[in-house]
Structure 1
Amino acid sequence: MKRVTFEKRAKISNDVMNYIYKYIDTNINIDELCLELKISKFHLHRIFKEEFGKNIYESIKSIRLEKAANLLITNRYSTITDIAKMTGYSSQTSFLRSFKQRFLMTPKEWKNGGYKEYSNKIVEKISTNSQAIDFSNIEPSIVKMPEIKGYYIRHKGYDKSIKKTWQKLQTWIYTNDIKEYKQMALHHDNPIITPLEDCQYIAIVVLEDKEKASLDFLLPSLIIPKGVYAKFSLSGKYGDVIKLIQWVYHTWLIESGYETTPNPSYTIYHKNHFLSDDGEFILDYYLPIRYV
């Protein structure tokens, strides 16, 4: 496959995935997407399937259910019907059936605590530190964040193989002589709900040099939405981040009086454990919130 063809296919696939996440709360129309991307439906489905290993409709269904599972935990003032609508379901019956098929329990059972055992099993798989971490002394700050444009590589799976993706981005940084930048990760999927092998982890470089930012790079770009976020600062090692995310969703958010939104959470690294020699990190984790 020619390089230009490979890059075009990768861009189409990433554009489709970004579109799905952006409009997951709506009735996503593939015909409109084809018009926007100027590609036939046949080729769109084929390219997406080859890139991600499943068809577009399977991906939409999976993302809807994972978003719903997350909102059922955190948005205690929203009804199950509200959650279904927020994640693009027009029929509550269809939502109930799909949810039970995916999580082996009803939305009500999940909301009433069934999620805890489910997520504990996922966290145990990735954490090398079996000891519990006390996050109760972390006091988040509430911040208003602007839109952020970044160049990215999408990585499937939430595990140590993410290091290879960051090494590619680091090579890209050196090759393009980029001096001023931030390293970020966009968490489209909640790794305490989504099977780790299916998580979409987006490794991002944000250019802070205005001259460099105006150049046309081969890597795809995305816009992280502006909004109000709870910012949690943490230092640690591999496996600690997922424990923080679990605490944020399962404890802090429920007790705080805030609710989260369908927008993704993200991380800004001050020290990236996937690239640091000692395997340790310093980061800020941003959770989108609203007050009901």
Structure 2
Amino acid sequence: MTRALDLHLPIGSHARRLNRLIDHIETHLGDDLCLDKLAELAAFSPFHLHRLFRAWTGETLRDFVRRRRLETAGNRLRYDRELSIGELAHSCGFASAETFARAFRQHFGQTPSSWRQQGGPGASVLPTALVMAPGAVTLRRLPGRDLLYWRQQGSYAEVADPLWARFQPWIAALGLAGQPLLGMGLDDPAVTPAEHCRYDACVELPPAWQESAGLRPCRKHLAGGWHACLAFEGEASALGGAWTWLTTHWLPHSGFMAGSSPFFEAYEAGAGRGQGGQLRAALCMPVQPLAR
């Protein structure tokens, strides 16, 4: 069993600034992400940011940046086969393809080229009971949206349901109970160790929604665009297999590659996710056409 870290700190804490910093890191992996620059961005002293980040996430900021660069590269090797390894290394913040290859092999135990050829870990692992009907995936152009969210770190199987159990009464108290809900696994558990996986329970905000006085929740914007959407109905324990089918069985033959924005589960307005039982959701993966 892994240790779950609750990354939604109480109102009035540093949660909003730290989550915003992490979101910045995720979208700027190719930039200079030294401690001093990140501390300035988050409005902390470097010493305070170092201590707070380690206490909050269980790893140092430097280790987090290095790990996310390598894990992001690992996923892009699987889903973006048109990008050369040298281009990928540079986009993920490595000075050269040689530096990247050395770090990648040290972290994952194999070279980037062999990882790409094999499709990464778990590429052929699919529960035998999972059968997808023809036409189960539809392409939809989804709008951008603003979200409130709570985040928790740990194995998705252990943290998701308890997080939703706490999150849904909170959003009901804000008058948002009828709004669409999204579950967002920010990390691929085939690549990221379970104890470092991050899960966001999200509610879509209506237009012109204003925060109440004194309320400073974690808030973010989810970019719109084309998504491959798989209709899912079943036990929560089968979600992982459905995502595996979508990414490793449907995607390679689709004429698309995965986009860079987060994958997410979209629940019907007001339906949400309870403790265990059957779930109905659309599994939404951002996509873009392969270059011809």
Cross-structure match for 1:160: 158
Offset of residue 71 of structure 1: 1.2
Cross-structure match for 1:113: 118
Residue 102 (structure 1) aligned to one of 107, 116, 132: 107
Residue 50 (structure 1) aligned to one of 45, 50, 55: 55
When the two structures are aligned, how many residues end up with a matched partner?
Answer: 277
Measure the CA separation in 1 of the matches of 2:194 and 2:128.
20
1:225–1:263 CA contact under 8 A, matched in 2: yes
Measure the CA separation in 2 of the matches of 1:287 and 1:51.
29
Q: Gaps spanning 5+ residues in structure 1: where? A: 124-129
Task: Determine if the alignment matches structure 1 residue 287 to structure 2 residue 285.
Answer: yes
Task: Determine if the alignment matches structure 1 residue 83 to structure 2 residue 88.
Answer: yes
Measure the CA separation in 1 of the matches of 2:219 and 2:264.
16
Measure the CA separation in 2 of the matches of 1:256 and 1:238.
26
Offset of residue 215 of structure 1: 2.4
Cross-structure match for 1:195: 193
Q: How does 1:257-268 map to 2 (within 5 A)?
A: 257-268=255-266
Residue 34 (structure 1) aligned to one of 29, 32, 39: 39
Cross-structure match for 2:147: 150
Deviation per residue, 1:69-102 (Å, 9 max, x gap): 1111122222222222232223212211111112
Measure the CA separation in 2 of the matches of 1:161 and 1:139.
28
Cross-structure match for 2:3: none
Offset of residue 181 of structure 1: 1.1
Measure the CA separation in 2 of the matches of 1:119 and 1:83.
24
Cross-structure match for 1:127: none
Aligned letter for 2:216? Answer: L
Measure the CA separation in 1 of the matches of 2:239 and 2:134.
16
Q: How does 1:120-269 map to 2 (within 5 A)?
A: 120=125, 131-135=128-132, 137-157=134-154, 158-208=156-206, 210=207, 213-216=209-212, 217-269=215-267
Measure the CA separation in 2 of the matches of 1:172 and 1:96.
45
With normalisation by structure 1, the TM-score equals 0.85
Give the secondary-structure state (helix, strand or coil) at the position aligned to 1:235.
strand
Aligned letter for 1:172? Answer: W
Offset of residue 24 of structure 1: 2.2
Give the secondary-structure state (helix, strand or coil) at the position aligned to 1:153.
strand
Query: For structure 1, which segment, 108-117 or 90-99, has the greater mean C-alpha deviation from structure 2 after superposition?
Result: 108-117
Aligned letter for 2:61? Answer: I
Q: Gaps spanning 5+ residues in structure 2: where? A: 1-8
Measure the CA separation in 1 of the matches of 2:69 and 2:116.
16
Give the secondary-structure state (helix, strand or coil) at the position aligned to 1:165.
helix
Residues 179 and 166 of structure 1: CA distance in aligned 2, closer, same or farther (over 3 Å): closer
Q: Aligned residues: percent identity?
A: 24
With normalisation by structure 2, the TM-score equals 0.85
Cross-structure match for 1:21: 26
Measure the CA separation in 2 of the matches of 1:117 and 1:177.
41
Residues 5 and 165 of structure 1: CA distance in aligned 2, closer, same or farther (over 3 Å): closer
